[in-house]
Amino acid sequence: MKKELLIMFVLPVCFISCITAPSYYVMNDANISLLKKKNDLIASATRGMGDNYITTDGHITYALTKHLGIMMNGSYAFLHDDDDKGNFNHSKRKQVELALGYYLPKEIKMINFKTHYISEYYFGSGIGNIKVDYNDNGRGGIYEIHRSNFSKLFIQTNHGIVAKYIELGVSMRLCHLNYYDYKSKLSDGSNINVSKYSGYFLERFGVIKLGLKNVKLYYSLGASDKAFKHLKLNSENNIYNIGIESNITNLF
């Protein structure tokens, strides 16, 4: 636990000291907006860190009706890792998502405070790409070049408690990733034989939001596992995010 806290508090100046193998899937932060009523417009921006990658995420969620919501997510992850022997891992991942869902708010009382218990269920899709340049052969060595696009389908459920100054939420997401237009070669021009990658990931998140009624600080933890162990695809297993969230509708 102390190690995890240290990672988060030194996040802006954190550099990894050893060359890490490329990860071809880096999960994005889950959108756990917890809509309460029609026309709620909630936006958030977070900065985070996976096992090795630095991530930036943006979320927008809008309540179209009393129970129908739409979410839009954008995410960028990168790793720029070098050592004094000439080894390096320069990687980038970009993706955007769109999802439609059903939300169900229920007013409850907790210690005489008015709160809401929110359940949300979303189905969505996304697209993205990865770029990886990787060398573990030392200075002047032949390095690997990987490029790929990917598509994503996901089912996500969110549950949480919303009060005036605090929100607590959990989320579970099942994703299917399909990589296409996958191109891999060596820097000398020769090709690398690779398999076509596709598979499922099961992801869990927890979030706490603290602050004013309509603007809160946001902190989340996430974990990802391959749903089928035979999937041969390097991925990040954990992610930590900190940021800010606002209910824009109630600001005006």
Give the pLDDT confidence score for residue 77 in this predicted structure. 94
Distance CA 133, CA 121 (A): 38
Is 73 within 8 Å of 97 (Cβ atoms)? Answer: yes
Distance CA 116, CA 135 (A): 51
Residue 141, amino acid: G
Give the pLDDT confidence score for residue 139 in this predicted structure. 63
Give the pLDDT confidence score for residue 61 in this predicted structure. 98
The residue to which tokens 């824009």 are assigned: 248
Give the pLDDT confidence score for residue 19 in this predicted structure. 62
Nearest to 55 by CA among 36, 40, 37, 76: 76
Distance CA 85, CA 63 (A): 53
Distance CA 16, CA 79 (A): 9
2-251 folds as Porin (2.40.160)
- Give the pLDDT of the chain (252 residues) as one tens digit per residue: 444 444 443 443 333 345 667 777 889 999 999 999 999 999 999 999 988 899 999 999 999 999 999 999 999 999 888 787 878 888 899 999 999 999 999 998 777 778 999 999 999 999 999 998 888 776 667 788 888 899 999 999 999 999 989 999 999 999 999 988 878 888 777 776 655 678 889 999 999 999 998 999 999 999 998 876 555 667 888 999 999 999 998 777
The residue to which tokens 């060398």 are assigned: 135
End-to-end CA distance of the chain: 40
Strands 113-135 and 144-162: antiparallel
